[in-house]
Chain A
Amino acid sequence: MNLILQAEFIAPDIKKFVIAAPLIARKAKPGQFVILRVWEKGERIPITIVNGDPENGTVTLIIQGLGKTTRQMNMLNSGDYVHDLVGPLGQATHIENFGLAVCVSGGVGTAEALPIARALKEAGNTVIAIIGAREKALVICEAEMRTICDEVIITTDDGSYCTHGLVTDVLKTVIARNTKPDFVLAVGPLPMMRAVSEMTRPFSIKTMVSLNSIMVDGTGMCGGCRATVDGKTVFVCVDGPEFDGHQVNFDEIARRQKQFANQEKISAEIINKEPQKVLHQCRLAKAINEISKS
């Protein structure tokens, strides 16, 4: 069990956690993820590591409450425990000095892009961040991105903040500049990553996307996260999570991500109807942990 040291909402339904996990903090590299479970009968879900702090022995996660597990997680506060936390999993992002690197992120994906943008900058790249969100309130990690990147361009779907439009609209103008990007990273909703990949393809700009498949173990044991890249089956958990966006079969991933849509509705109803019961499920973990310590 891992103690939550800090927990705060940074946007509606998006919560930032700092969690005690000294072993994971020592090893975490940009692009890697953890698998967490919120309670005894909870599902195992992958969450990207935003930051690993080996000195303080903590990892930072930023979680958007969508399904039952993420919403349940977002009910927790500092002093509560995460039932299980394991990692770091997956391959770290391949970092080198490409020249001009563009990090395109959408929604909560900006949190996942943050450590990669930092690593790209540290490797000597000129880094442009393009941040997209539905509306102003959902723009996250802006200040952190501004301290890291050479340029930050923000766009909102409804025009409530900065540019009005999609990240691809911005990317188009960036590609049209005198200096063409040498590397593009896209992290966010699948349609966004696909649109970015399609936009860079004619220019042959190396484009990596971070896939968020449904996983169980996260160590290559179940194969549930499999995807098709360059015509070959890969396991996102051990071969990824980042892949060449020009080679990814997005249709297949989009379908596979929705394979439990009906069951997800059932789980969502439970948390809608009985939020207190659901909160109690994970608070139980804290009680058990305290008893076992005493």
Chain B
Amino acid sequence: MSSNTLSKKERLAITRQPMPEQPPQVRNRNFNEVNLGFDAETAVIEAQRCLDCPRPTCIDGCPVRIKIPDFIRLIAQKDFIGAARKIKEDNLLPSVCGRVCPQEEQCEKTCVLHGKFQPVSIGRLERFVADYEREHGQAQVKVNTPPNGKKVAIVGSGPAGLACASDLVQWGYDVTVFEALHEFGGVLIYGIPEFRLPKAILKYEIENLQKMGVRFEANFIVGKTMTIDELFEVGGFDAVFLGVGAGLPWFLNIPGENLMGVYSANEFLTRVNLMRAYEFPESDTPVKIGKQVVVVGGGNTAMDAVRTAKRLGAETATIVYRRSEVEMPARIEEVHHAKEEGIIFRTLTNPIEFLSDENGWVKAARCLQMELGEPGPDGRRRPIPVKGSEFEIPTDLVVVAIGNGSNPLISRTTPDLQCNKWGNILTNGNNGRTSKRGVFAGGDIVTGGATVILAMGAGREAALSIDEYLKTGIWDSEPESALKK
């Protein structure tokens, strides 16, 4: 059946193909990936649902404007490698984005089928072709542009840095990625758990970049091991891109937060993901195994933490969130998966104190019941405490997952780099130029905590701007805050 022989009516008659996944009661006891991915047959069926609109609105929903109908058409024609290459014209890491992008808020939301029908599973198809390309060893790692002799330093090996490095190396730049930790990937390795993004996939993508000529330096903290000025003067770099992420965990600032058994999401997830505490004592790094776990927050990180706690053996694992489920910033799929796995949701609940047992371990979260009031400046209805509603949730492990601020390591040692009062680096619109000549920035350090794909988009915008700067030598930048808080 050729894809272009189907009528619109026939296409609309095909139902959205479900994602095969591990059964909830099996997967909540292991760290293997939850979603198993489409097979080729399912992918072709799903691809045939695409109406191949003359003016595709799905592309408008994609932060990096992947040519969505083009790659889907190639899938329908069973040219899976061609489809993968088509995506890679705009997005270097489809195997990652196909897994962690909030498609329901992006391309799938603007798909014409959304609403009256079910949108095309763009994310699942993206993931399928990326996996197909990897499994068939078909990734292109050859750089066709000759080296141009210019050196670019990328600070941080997370999504922004990897995207920026990927473009620059293909344009002939000598690119070095500096990473503070001992493994590469940033939040993709320390934050996002194995069951959502297997480490092997990330490792493969990074090895491909290495094959293309990108150098990777671990255990190197820009701001400490070398300052930015030293990267220029001693390192001989011509430009520096800062994609360091938002790496300073926020706490609730309530009594009892420093009790034993209270972690930031960063610490809890880093211990488990990067340091492999789930293998303890095979791996040396321990983590507290909670029986009654409370995770505070409603974002993807909160979902990752609570599902991780469940997999580590928690009897109850509970999300405590001060607004209602509608306001939760987490992806719908993550909330849905969490519920299937037996995660308890206590919304409109706000912790005001953590209580200690006689040995200094947390034993309960004292909370207030909330109700929703008038919408705040961000459009979300504000939670207001219900008077006299105090109650306790017994717990032996609390994970605070309410977001991250900006890490001051670089700004403290780079006085001529302008930041806003929250420590976010100011940039000249989208091109990433900062107040310091030759220094660019993008991703969460500019925008505050956001998504993987937005950070990748920022990395690519900056790559274009770096290319322009190093070709013309012209530096004009009027940086401003990307945050409209």
- What does the 1/0 interface line of B272-295 toward A look like (CB < 8 Å)? 000110011111111010000000
A238 adjacent to chain B (CB < 8 Å): yes
Q: Collect the chain B residues with CB atoms within 8 Å of residue A267's CB.
A: 281, 284, 286
In the complex with contacts A85-B219, A224-B263, A43-B258 CB distance below 8 A: no
Q: Collect the chain A residues with CB atoms within 8 Å of residue B257's CB.
A: 233
Cβ of B219 and Cβ of A238 under 8 Å apart? Answer: no
Closest-by-CB residue of A relative to B271 is A216
Closest-by-CB residue of A relative to B257 is A233
In the complex with contacts A219-B180, A263-B281, A86-B409 CB distance below 8 A: no
Q: Within the assembled complex, what's the spacing in Å between the Cα atoms of A87 and B224?
A: 7
Within 8 A of B (CB), among A66-110: 68-69, 83-89
Q: Collect the chain B residues with CB atoms within 8 Å of residue A42's CB.
A: 284
Q: Within the assembled complex, what's the spacing in Å between the Cα atoms of A210 and B288?
A: 26
Q: Give the residue of A37, A220, A252 whose beta carbon is less than 8 angstroms from that of B247.
A: A220
A286 adjacent to chain B (CB < 8 Å): no
B19 adjacent to chain A (CB < 8 Å): no
Cβ of B284 and Cβ of A69 under 8 Å apart? Answer: yes
Within 8 A of B (CB), among A214-251: 216-217, 219-224, 226-228, 233, 238
Determine how close the nearest CB of chain B comes to the CB of A247; give it in whole angstroms: 15
- Tell which of A11-19, A157-165, A190-198, A254-262 binds the partner: A254-262
Cβ of B225 and Cβ of A219 under 8 Å apart? Answer: no
B48 adjacent to chain A (CB < 8 Å): no
Cβ of B247 and Cβ of A41 under 8 Å apart? Answer: no
Closest-by-CB residue of B relative to A36 is B219
Cβ of B266 and Cβ of A222 under 8 Å apart? Answer: yes
Cβ of B284 and Cβ of A233 under 8 Å apart? Answer: no
Q: Within the assembled complex, what's the spacing in Å between the Cα atoms of A227 and B258?
A: 7
Q: Give the residue of B226, B270, B409 whose beta carbon is less than 8 angstroms from that of A238.
A: B409
B218 adjacent to chain A (CB < 8 Å): yes
In the complex with contacts A87-B225, A259-B288, A219-B407 CB distance below 8 A: yes
Q: Give the residue of A221, A252, A263 whose beta carbon is less than 8 angstroms from that of B249.
A: A221
Q: Collect the chain A residues with CB atoms within 8 Å of residue B260's CB.
A: 255-256, 259
Closest-by-CB residue of A relative to B263 is A224
Q: Within the assembled complex, what's the spacing in Å between the Cα atoms of A219 and B223?
A: 11
Closest-by-CB residue of B relative to A86 is B219
Q: Collect the chain A residues with CB atoms within 8 Å of residue B264's CB.
A: 222-224
Within 8 A of B (CB), among A254-286: 255-256, 259-260, 263-264, 266-267, 270
Determine how close the nearest CB of chain A comes to the CB of B227; give it in whole angstroms: 9
Cβ of B275 and Cβ of A216 under 8 Å apart? Answer: yes
A121 adjacent to chain B (CB < 8 Å): no
Q: Collect the chain A residues with CB atoms within 8 Å of residue B251's CB.
A: 223, 233
Closest-by-CB residue of A relative to B250 is A223
Q: Within the assembled complex, what's the spacing in Å between the Cα atoms of A31 and B284?
A: 27
In the complex with contacts A43-B275, A43-B284, A223-B266, A23-B226 CB distance below 8 A: yes
Q: Which of A88, A221, A267 has the most CB of B within 10 A?
A: A221
Main secondary structure, interface of A, reads mixed
Cβ of A86 and Cβ of B258 under 8 Å apart? Answer: no
How many A-B contacts are there with CB distance less than 8 Å? 112
Cβ of A222 and Cβ of B221 under 8 Å apart? Answer: no
Within 8 A of A (CB), among B273-325: 275-276, 279-286, 288
Q: Within the assembled complex, what's the spacing in Å between the Cα atoms of A220 and B251?
A: 13
B112 adjacent to chain A (CB < 8 Å): no
Determine how close the nearest CB of chain A comes to the CB of B265; give it in whole angstroms: 9
Cβ of A43 and Cβ of B409 under 8 Å apart? Answer: no
- What does the 1/0 interface line of A23-45 toward B look like (CB < 8 Å)? 11001000000000100011110
B182 adjacent to chain A (CB < 8 Å): yes
Closest-by-CB residue of A relative to B281 is A266
Cβ of B275 and Cβ of A86 under 8 Å apart? Answer: no
In the complex with contacts A233-B258, A238-B409, A221-B219 CB distance below 8 A: no
In the complex with contacts A86-B225, A255-B360, A220-B284 CB distance below 8 A: no
Q: Which of A69, A83, A260 has the most CB of B within 10 A?
A: A260
Q: Within the assembled complex, what's the spacing in Å between the Cα atoms of A85 and B408?
A: 21
Cβ of A260 and Cβ of B258 under 8 Å apart? Answer: no
Cβ of B258 and Cβ of A263 under 8 Å apart? Answer: no
Q: Collect the chain A residues with CB atoms within 8 Å of residue B219's CB.
A: 84-86
Determine how close the nearest CB of chain B comes to the CB of A216; give it in whole angstroms: 5
Q: Collect the chain B residues with CB atoms within 8 Å of residue A89's CB.
A: 221, 224
- What does the 1/0 interface line of B377-415 toward A look like (CB < 8 Å)? 000000000000000000000000000000111000000
B267 adjacent to chain A (CB < 8 Å): yes
B36 adjacent to chain A (CB < 8 Å): no
In the complex with contacts A84-B218, A86-B221, A263-B266 CB distance below 8 A: no
Cβ of A220 and Cβ of B407 under 8 Å apart? Answer: yes
Determine how close the nearest CB of chain A comes to the CB of B244; give it in whole angstroms: 10
Determine how close the nearest CB of chain A comes to the CB of B287; give it in whole angstroms: 9
Cβ of A216 and Cβ of B267 under 8 Å apart? Answer: yes
Cβ of A224 and Cβ of B267 under 8 Å apart? Answer: yes
B220 adjacent to chain A (CB < 8 Å): yes
Q: Collect the chain B residues with CB atoms within 8 Å of residue A259's CB.
A: 260-261, 288
- 8 further contact pairs, Cβ within 8 A, besides A224-B263, A260-B286, A264-B286: A41-B283, A42-B284, A44-B182, A68-B284, A219-B224, A221-B249, A221-B270, A223-B264
16 of the cross-chain contacts (CB-CB < 8 Å) are A23-B220, A27-B225, A42-B284, A43-B285, A44-B285, A87-B221, A217-B270, A219-B247, A220-B409, A222-B264, A223-B264, A223-B266, A233-B253, A252-B258, A259-B288, A260-B288
For the complex of A and B, 4 pairs with smallest distance between CB atoms: A263-B286, A222-B267, A86-B219, A43-B284
